[in-house]
Structure 1
Amino acid sequence: MEDLQLDLDHAENCTTTIPFDLIIEILSRLPAKSLIRFQSVSKLWFSTIRSRTFVDSFYTRSMTRPRFLFRFDHRESRRNFIFSAPQYEYCSDDDRYVFSAMARYDMTISDPDYCTFRDSVQGFICFTSAVPKRFYDGTPLFNSITVYNPTTRQIVKLPDFTPNGRYVEALLGYDPVEDQYKVLCVMMLMMFGAPDESQDDIQQEHFVCTLSSSQKQEWRKIENPTGDSYTSVFFGQICIDGALYYGVGESGIVKFDVRSEKVEYIKTPEESYISGSYNSTLINYNGKLGGLERSCEGNLMTLWVLEDAEKQEWSSITYDLPYHWDATLGYGVTDGEIHGSHMVFCPPFSVFYYDFDMDCISVVRIRGIEDGDLRVDGFGELTGHTSCRPGHIENIRFL
């Protein structure tokens, strides 16, 4: 007993100090959710985890482990549930192999009657919510644009506005040179306007809002030197090296330079429909703008790549996939991107990897999202909808 008391007294008189560099090394290996909680341990830990050096180091590490981002839109409760799952490059020598991955719940987003979900950009996602009463009782269409970080659960609500009879799309972009996030808001003509209304005097406009914690969020109008107008048809969105691209129906693709805030127009090949079809999507192909389009008949998938942006020259290659994608994808290509020699598709609750070299498909079943009340893609009672975006990178940065 006396020896035990001596040991306790000795322990009280000894102070063990962990080197700060070792603490940083330990913190850098922790999951993002743990880091967010550990900010409350002390002021030193808070300032360390929030420091630019630590945030950049964590993001660099996260780039080696991208995730799939899932949105479950529960329409009865008017809430969106955000999940994510590991994005591994699965492959097998078998003709078709099935894997499984567990999804992780990240956050819940409450929204009005309508919500548009776009791709993740540097770990942040942009939602455009609207109450489309204009079609029923003539009241103005109200829009709300919000940027979310599923990792930190930070919510950045941008100023609301009334578009005065126009359809609104908001897209998030990132400029790596100035390290700035910007939201591009496009007010367009309604594709399906009210029958008793004329849109001849309605102007299409572009607005930009820079996301910054040091200054007030406000919308700034920018000019569209191309003079091109388009209706409310957006197909695909991708941010590549400081440039934001989005399809605008059969007319082509719009490029928005995030740094200079200039708008350019890119014509797509006449024989393609990568900018104006639900069976197509824009992708990042080895740092170049690309597009995938699926044939309405058969198993053909065509990859288009913008080889020369100034001359607007495109190349293409068509693949004959080993399986019929109508049955596999339901409504066609919901999203896709190229990883090395893999083509990635993301229908609800599953991820399909097509290996160009091996000509095989691997399937990853996503577990942990669906429940007994969920009905997807019109089968049974439609109470919810699920969409997926690949390439989400966890970011512990706060805006």
Structure 2
Amino acid sequence: MAVDIPLVIQNEILCRLPIKSLIRFTSVSKQWKSFIHSSEFNFNFMVRQAHRKCLITAVDDVDVENVDVVDDNFRKQCLSGEERWPGCLIVDDDDTFPKRKVCLTYPRSLNQLKNTYLEFHGSSLGLLCFSANHIDEDDTFIRCVIWNPSIRKSIAIETPYYPNVKIAFGVCPKSLDPKIVKINMFDVPYGLSYDEQRRVWRVEVFTLNSRVWRSPFVKIPSKWFDINFYEQTPPLVINGFIYWLRYASIHYTDRNADGRSYMIISFDLATEEFMKIHVPDELAHSSFDIFKLGESVAISESSPRDCKVWLMDHVTKSFTELYSIKLPEPMTKLGCTDNNQLIIIDYPSGELVAYDPDSKHLINLGIYVDCFTASFTSYTESLLLLDQSNTLNDDEGL
């Protein structure tokens, strides 16, 4: 680096540059490459590039003529009509929302698996995580893929397949180490009858820096084993915590209950501790939507047209009622923009709709998604994976 420019000033300049420029600069010298690859620079870059984007996955209907940026692979697949997974759409979360749209294909490490079900596990510090099950007579495994769409690089991790495995993902904000949390659930006989089975959890954590799976140091309470996963809700990753929506079965002798007790389970990416978070009594025995609002967890009733929105305090883990909304029909809340507009799926068309709580108006976004697999989450560019070995470059022309 230039010796006549203080290192602090150089850092400030580089943190404001586009990612493509930084990648080219790693070829200038070993010193520049080492500096740009460092964890300290990665952290400073993410702080400076904190303008948020919104990520929509599993896009069913994309008109490439109305998309600002379409990668070559996606355009070729659209023109050829070959079988493929739906695209990944990134929409700027600013005053132009949702005008500027960037459409990408999924990484090649996922597209190599054909006729499999793709599952999205969250976005954290510029990285996305997906998984797909590969099942055939010769080999059976789960392929997890960590992908940085900003630098078009991904890394695949394979693990044995289990029928009831659940996966979550997040980057530890202290170490910038990506982690995959895998929970294998087994039903084992406890008594003589079928109803007397007990569920066993086996938790494993994969860290990218170590490249190994291991059990976390903190033991899960045995009374949690009856807690089930809410299938249609992907986990949230906020401020170094992963949040799942869960439910526990209730004895049907309780006539006031619907058979389930709902709650949120969190996982601390730094300490690897699990915690049970109780929700407001109004939602304890009914399903609800969980989504990200700003840097906090928000929840609301799933089905009613008139429903309340609660916001969780990050420190106390308690909920405060934020506002009430009135929808023309029951809709699933997927997420929230920077200006507090709720992103909702309009059934059965699958079109994404933005609800403004101030004007009480619904805005059609002209984006169509899979009603069962769609997700909407915040996204910030980062350089993570740039220095990792065994990565797959999904865009050789970058």
TM-score by length of 1: 0.68
Q: Does the C-alpha gap of structure 1 residues 311 and 86 become closer, same or farther in structure 2, counting only changes over 3 Å?
A: closer
Q: Does the C-alpha gap of structure 1 residues 260 and 47 become closer, same or farther in structure 2, counting only changes over 3 Å?
A: closer
* Matched residue type, 1:248: R
Hey, what does 2:90 align to over in structure 1?
Answer: 84
**Structure-2 separation of matches of 1:311 and 1:70:** 29
Hey, what does 2:66 align to over in structure 1?
Answer: none
The question of whether the paired residues in 1 share the 8 Å contact of 2:147 and 2:153 is answered with yes
Consecutive unaligned residues of structure 2, counting only runs of 5 or more, are 61-76, 188-193, 248-259, 389-398
Structure 1 residues 71-80 or 220-229, which shifts more? 71-80
Corresponding residue SS for 1:54: helix
Q: Does the C-alpha gap of structure 1 residues 302 and 238 become closer, same or farther in structure 2, counting only changes over 3 Å?
A: same
The question of whether the paired residues in 2 share the 8 Å contact of 1:70 and 1:389 is answered with yes
Q: Return the offset for 1:104.
A: 4.0
The question of whether the paired residues in 2 share the 8 Å contact of 1:158 and 1:217 is answered with no
Hey, what does 2:289 align to over in structure 1?
Answer: 281
Hey, what does 1:360 align to over in structure 2?
Answer: 361
Within the candidate set 303, 310, 318, 1:304 is matched to: 310
Q: Does the C-alpha gap of structure 1 residues 20 and 308 become closer, same or farther in structure 2, counting only changes over 3 Å?
A: closer
Q: For each residue in 1:93-117, what CA deviation from the matched residue of structure 2 results, as whole angstroms up to 9, or x when unmatched?
A: xxxxxx6323243653324511211
Q: Return the offset for 1:275.
A: 8.0
Q: For each residue in 1:323-367, what CA deviation from the matched residue of structure 2 results, as whole angstroms up to 9, or x when unmatched?
A: x356xxxxx32611363543334679965443333333444446x
Hey, what does 1:3 align to over in structure 2?
Answer: none
* Matched residue type, 1:158: I
* Matched residue type, 1:238: L
* Matched residue type, 1:150: P
In the TM superposition, 1:30-49 aligns within 5 A as: 30-49=17-36
**Structure-2 separation of matches of 1:233 and 1:352:** 23
* Matched residue type, 1:46: K
In the TM superposition, 1:95-244 aligns within 5 A as: 100-105=99-104, 107-108=106-107, 109-110=110-111, 111-112=113-114, 113-131=116-134, 142-163=141-162, 166-189=163-186, 200=197, 203-212=200-209, 215-221=210-216, 223-225=219-221, 227-228=223-224, 229-234=226-231, 235-244=233-242
The question of whether the paired residues in 2 share the 8 Å contact of 1:67 and 1:86 is answered with yes
Q: Return the offset for 1:178.
A: 4.2
Question: Quick one: percent identity of the two aligned structures?
Answer: 21
Within the candidate set 352, 370, 377, 1:390 is matched to: 377
Q: Does the C-alpha gap of structure 1 residues 360 and 177 become closer, same or farther in structure 2, counting only changes over 3 Å?
A: same
Consecutive unaligned residues of structure 1, counting only runs of 5 or more, are 1-15, 92-98, 191-196, 327-331, 371-375, 379-384
Corresponding residue SS for 1:160: strand
**Structure-1 separation of matches of 2:19 and 2:378:** 17
Q: Return the offset for 1:183.
A: 1.7
In the TM superposition, 1:24-35 aligns within 5 A as: 27-35=14-22
Q: For each residue in 1:42-97, what CA deviation from the matched residue of structure 2 results, as whole angstroms up to 9, or x when unmatched?
A: 43443343233432232112212434343448997454643422122458xxxxxx
Structure 1 residues 17-26 or 233-242, which shifts more? 17-26
Matched pairs, number:
337
Q: For each residue in 1:166-216, what CA deviation from the matched residue of structure 2 results, as whole angstroms up to 9, or x when unmatched?
A: 4111111233344443221111258xxxxxx9993762222212221xx33
The question of whether the paired residues in 2 share the 8 Å contact of 1:236 and 1:281 is answered with no
The question of whether the paired residues in 1 share the 8 Å contact of 2:308 and 2:321 is answered with no
Q: Are residue 263 (structure 1) and residue 274 (structure 2) matched? A: yes
Q: Return the offset for 1:131.
A: 3.8
**Structure-1 separation of matches of 2:334 and 2:127:** 18
**Structure-2 separation of matches of 1:23 and 1:260:** 34
Q: Does the C-alpha gap of structure 1 residues 34 and 315 become closer, same or farther in structure 2, counting only changes over 3 Å?
A: same
Question: How much is the aligned-residue C-alpha RMSD, in angstroms?
Answer: 4.1
**Structure-2 separation of matches of 1:352 and 1:243:** 28
Within the candidate set 70, 74, 77, 2:57 is matched to: 70
Within the candidate set 36, 40, 45, 1:58 is matched to: 45
The question of whether the paired residues in 1 share the 8 Å contact of 2:53 and 2:93 is answered with yes
TM-score by length of 2: 0.68
* Matched residue type, 1:119: G
**Structure-2 separation of matches of 1:263 and 1:285:** 22
Corresponding residue SS for 1:271: helix
Q: Are residue 336 (structure 1) and residue 335 (structure 2) matched? A: yes
The question of whether the paired residues in 2 share the 8 Å contact of 1:184 and 1:209 is answered with yes
